[in-house]
Amino acid sequence: MINKGLSNVGIFLLNMLSLLPLFILYRLADAFYMLIFYVFGYRRKVVKENLVNAFPEKTATEIYAIEKRFYKFLASLFIEVIKMKSISKKELNKRVKFKNTDLVEAYLKNNESVIFCSSHYGNYEWVCMAIGLNFSGEHYPIYKPLSSESFNNWFLTMRSKFGNQMVAMRQTLRAIQASKNVATMFTFGSDQAPSKDESNYWTMFLNQESSIQLGVEKIARKTNRPVFYLKINHLKRGYYEVDCVPICLNPAETAEFEITEMHTHFLEDMIKEAPAYWLWSHRRWKYKPEQKVQKVAADQNVMDAMV
């Protein structure tokens, strides 16, 4: 009860903060950057380790420069997420522009559905919100519920304010089945690391063996929905351009794991192009392939003991 009360107080304060204009919020972001980078060192060990492992060819000076740019962007991203509560359609459309949408619209106008691959790059939250305003089909973003019910509901309210129909990860297949007769866009965060038990496919990503979600590929191949990557370009503070890049238009004709490799390495190239705008503070590589092997072996030992 106490935790819920504190969460509600926090949400109230965030809602009030959201009412401030962005030029003031960005001044707060500058101060927030100083705190999380220089004073508290928020996850700096994780960020530095991720960057060093991803870019072994870069010098310590180059890594430090990327690290600083990342934290400056992270502070702005935090403020922009808060602004989602009060941002208007006009303001959002001014700050998030889509290009190369004709092919996507051709499918939707023909009552065919598509799959969007996204990632924790740039302001993925604003981009996800803006999809509902810029395309004719119904938009179903897939999300992972937060542990706090209060904050989970707060995020759901903001994310769905412009027509998005949020779908919890475990409800994806049910939502696809329920909407099969209408033109839809299902958006997946393709860089979300699977849990240890679900880490069934590994590939090289940013110089490290990485477990990859297979949801995009499984659904694309089963339904033959074309797959587009939402390439987010950070133009300047608070302004983004989203290129709708087709990466697979005939999924049913692909080999197993082919689509997974496509979207994984597309993201890798995007990160290498401008690395400061990916979410390096996530513990993306906390599970290793050998841990999966050990678990499989342990499970097999249990099965053998039961026989």
Band (292; pLDDT cuts 50, 70, 90) = low
Band (199; pLDDT cuts 50, 70, 90) = confident
Maximum distance among all alpha carbons in the chain?
67
**Residue 27 CA: distances (Å) to CA of 30, 82, 194:** 5, 14, 36
pLDDT in tens, 4-41: 677 888 999 999 999 999 999 999 999 999 999 999 99
Query: Encoding tokens for residue 273?
Result: 């192009």
CA Rg value for the chain? 20
Query: Encoding tokens for residue 64?
Result: 């430090």
The answer to whether 224 and 251 are in contact (CB under 8 A) is: yes
Band (157; pLDDT cuts 50, 70, 90) = very high
- pLDDT at position 300, please? 35
Q: What is the pTM of this model?
A: 0.90
Q: Give the 3-state secondary structure of 75-126.
A: HHHHHHHHHCCCCCHHHHHHHEEEECCHHHHHHHHCCCCEEEEECCECCHHH
- pLDDT at position 2, please? 55
Band (1; pLDDT cuts 50, 70, 90) = low
Residue with the larger pLDDT of the pair 194 and 229: 229
